[in-house]
Structure 1
Amino acid sequence: MDEQQTFDVVVVGAGPAGLMAGLACAESGLRTAVAGPEADPRDSRSAALLDGSVNLLKRLGVWQQLAAASEPLTAIRLIDATGTLLRAPEVLFRASEIGLPAFGYNVPNAALTAALEATSHSNLTRLIDRKATVVDLAGNSAMLSTNSHGMLGARLVIAADGRDSPTRTAAGIKTSSWSYTQAAVVTAFSHSRPHYGISTELHRRAGPLTVVPGPGNTSNLVWVETKEDAERLMALDAAEFTRELSGHIGSLLGMLSDFAPRRTYPLSGRTASPLAAHRVVLVGEAAHVIPPIGAQGLNLGFRDAATIAEFAGDAQCAGEDIGGDALLERYGRARQSDVAFRVFAVDLLNRSLLSSIPGAHLARGFGLFALASNRALRARVMREGVMPSTSNPSLMRPFAATGEITAG
């Protein structure tokens, strides 16, 4: 079709962050289109979605399609496995300490994307298209071209097209990038002992090894190693890989079996600055890339989506330009501190494990000791981790705070 379609918002990219941005903008009363290809249904990864992200899914009517495939994260266990002389104490964070039944849920990526795709909204148009390309960002609207759906016009463009975002490049937004000497080996497996909803993170000299609860007696694994050791782990047969993993987690989960195909991802980081310009705002990995440590990446992306939906919806109601400089600057200010703090915290933890400086391990050990011994400090850290005080979009708040009731 050759004629132009016009929307308030066009989201470029149809991964979880892009689909969420589309639904959230539609919920905020904006005529929205999401343009991008369908996701790979074979994606075996999972995402630990924290309480705010789950609230967002419930509010948008997505959660009821996900609940059966998801597993509550009732506690997080941190174990010092660095082998240093002064070993830090084990720390167990329980969601019940801050009045929550769970910190969040471990959700399979394929199920999450399928549920987002299946959720319809009267203000949302889903355009299955290989790519949407920015043609013009000047004037009072943006213009984009697509392979299958002709030209699109929008007052606001949301770039959710990944770490190498062409939309970000078209807006002239620069990035800062860095890399690590590590890679993550990712898989899922079954085990004979229950996990009791506890996510366990071993802090090792090569990086964290994290086992996240899945439905029943299953768990997901994110094992960070040097790139050389990650390649070696990928080459092991099933029995050898099982023995090596058991050597790290011991009898924690009993007998291990039924491993899903392993995948490996090099660790890297990237941040964009500014986070919005020329009618384009960045969400998800178009805005920030961080290692898969501490369940921060997709939760950051969902906060991006909820924030721009709230700001653009308010601007629409006030008769303001939803793609104007004032809104873009407000979005950038609102998201910058949250993104910067999460990137800094994850980078600091990872580098403290890799550091050969004795003081770095000593400082990390003292930090874990303080968390283990001080309940008030532990509760403060848990609350900030679940929903940062500096970034709390209304779409992600608990329903009790707004008096809303949903069927989710």
Structure 2
Amino acid sequence: MDNAAPRAIVAAMRFDTDIAVVGGGLNGLTLALALARGPLHVTVIDTRPADAGRAPDFDGRSYALANASARLLQNLGLWDTLHGDAQPINEIKVSDGRVGDGAALLGLHFASAEIEEGPMGQMVEDRHLRAALLDAVGANDRIDHRAPATVTAQDMEDHGATLTLADGGSLRARLVIGADGRASGMAARAGIRRTGWPYRQSALVCAIAHEKPHHGTAHQLFLPAGPLAILPLKGNRSSIVWTERTGLAEEIAALPEADYLHVLRPRFGDFLGRIELAGARYTYPLSLSLADRLAAPRLALVGDAAHGVHPIAGQGLNAGLKDVAALAQVLEEARRRGEDIGAADVLERYARWRRFDTATLATATDLFNRLFSSDRPGLRLLRDAGMRAVQAAPGLRRNFIREAAGLIGDLPDLMRG
């Protein structure tokens, strides 16, 4: 089929920007930088004021970036800024326990030394990552960061899209990308339905300072109410992602600091010595939420707008960054071939690339949560037997390590070495 006529129509139309990224979170800002490496002009529409995400002091939020995600940031020129504040994850220890066991009875041990690519991941505080992204976006003359701004309506036409903004203005783009979270307005207005369910669990998120060094080791402790992740930060500090039944989580979240720590300690154990809170505390309900489609006319979805999964494996942001790298590669290859970057067949290449991976991640996290968030004796025997089998098989263990590092599957170029 001759695509010359559609290309000519698109070329003749007047656009305010090539690509509008709706959502100024970590995925949206990273995507803007990835897209603006070439001649494309990108506009980020962010509901928050431009500097709202900057926090001069540690506020308790941090992220476990897989090895492949750190490569993406390095290839975008951000890692020189971040590496001094990042904590490598050199080991992961996994145990199946009960309240009071702590992290002493370890069933699995993964070490970065078993792979050639380096640390399995890096822990980066939100304040450092967000500031690096905002600075890079602000310094790029091919990116227009509109903040605060909100999309209230969208008109997806054959050869372009028009977004209506809350201030009465409008924006015309060749392509729109929804990076606006699980409650994506872009997806809803495009008629994209979501599949999912609540877990009746909530995550309690905080950071602690502790007496003993963590040696770059991440701990995943599976308790009957849900997993407890202890993730190493720079210095004698760790990030905590602690899952409880929603009712109990709300009660714990409302406790004074001393009582909060009193509840955490028997779950946490004493292997890091004395602990105290560092930064703010957060809590949010957990659910599975998958968009039925990753693309619609003139629209692609990335990050939580496309897939929101249980944090049991800490892969939510990593999956979003893989979306970012894959979509940026598909669009750049289409541009080089002279294709319309918002055409349905171009967007379908992205959707096809990411569809299986995101569905597999959602299924795996859902299954692991159901399998491990139980104290039934039969399930405990099954879990423990499985962990012993993995620990005893070097090849299988290596595959788990590479999976945790984000190195399995068809990686986008930006995530390669």
Tell me the TM-score normalised to structure 2 length.
0.89
Q: How does 1:203-218 map to 2 (within 5 A)?
A: 203-218=222-237
Q: How does 1:36-47 map to 2 (within 5 A)?
A: 36=46, 37=48, 38=50, 39-42=52-55, 44-47=60-63
Could you tell me how far apart the structure 2 residues matched to 1:74 and 1:148 are? 48
Q: How does 1:194-233 map to 2 (within 5 A)?
A: 194-233=213-252
Could you tell me how far apart the structure 2 residues matched to 1:219 and 1:79 are? 18
2:299 corresponds, among 248, 270, 280, to: 280
Do the aligned residues in 2 keep the contact of 1:163 with 1:286 (CA within 8 Å)?
A: yes
How far does residue 49 in structure 1 lie from its aligned partner after superposition? 0.5
Structure 1 residue aligned with 2:9: none
Structure 2 residue aligned with 1:15: 25
Structure 2 residue aligned with 1:66: 82
Structure 2 counterpart SS, 1:216: coil
1:6 corresponds, among 16, 21, 27, to: 16
2:144 corresponds, among 121, 125, 137, to: 125
Structure 2 residue aligned with 1:350: 369
1:157-183: CA deviations, max 9, x gaps?
110011111111122211112101211
Could you tell me how far apart the structure 1 residues matched to 2:333 and 2:168 are? 29
Structure 2 counterpart SS, 1:225: strand
Structure 2 counterpart SS, 1:66: helix
Q: Does 1:96 align with 2:109?
A: no
Could you tell me how far apart the structure 2 residues matched to 1:391 and 1:127 are? 34
Structure 1 counterpart SS, 2:140: coil
Structure 2 unaligned spans of 5+: 1-13
Do the aligned residues in 1 keep the contact of 2:19 with 2:173 (CA within 8 Å)?
A: yes
Q: Does 1:143 align with 2:173?
A: no
Structure 1 unaligned spans of 5+: 399-408
Could you tell me how far apart the structure 1 residues matched to 2:314 and 2:17 are? 33
1:114-169: CA deviations, max 9, x gaps?
11010033422222233134431012001112345932111111100111111111
* Structure 1 residues 96 and 76, CA gap change in structure 2 (3 angstroms): same
Structure 2 counterpart SS, 1:212: strand
Structure 1 residue aligned with 2:132: 115
User: How much identity, in percent, do the aligned residues show?
Assistant: 38
Worse-superposed segment, 279-288 or 127-136: 127-136
Q: Does 1:390 align with 2:409?
A: yes
Structure 1 counterpart SS, 2:312: coil
Structure 1 residue aligned with 2:4: none
Could you tell me how far apart the structure 1 residues matched to 2:348 and 2:407 are? 20
**Paired letter, 1:378:** R
Structure 2 counterpart SS, 1:390: coil
How many matched pairs?
A: 392
Q: Does 1:295 align with 2:308?
A: no
Do the aligned residues in 1 keep the contact of 2:225 with 2:374 (CA within 8 Å)?
A: no
How far does residue 28 in structure 1 lie from its aligned partner after superposition? 4.3
Do the aligned residues in 1 keep the contact of 2:222 with 2:373 (CA within 8 Å)?
A: no
2:94 corresponds, among 78, 92, 108, to: 78
Q: How does 1:145-294 map to 2 (within 5 A)?
A: 145-147=164-166, 150-294=169-313
Could you tell me how far apart the structure 1 residues matched to 2:284 and 2:291 are? 21
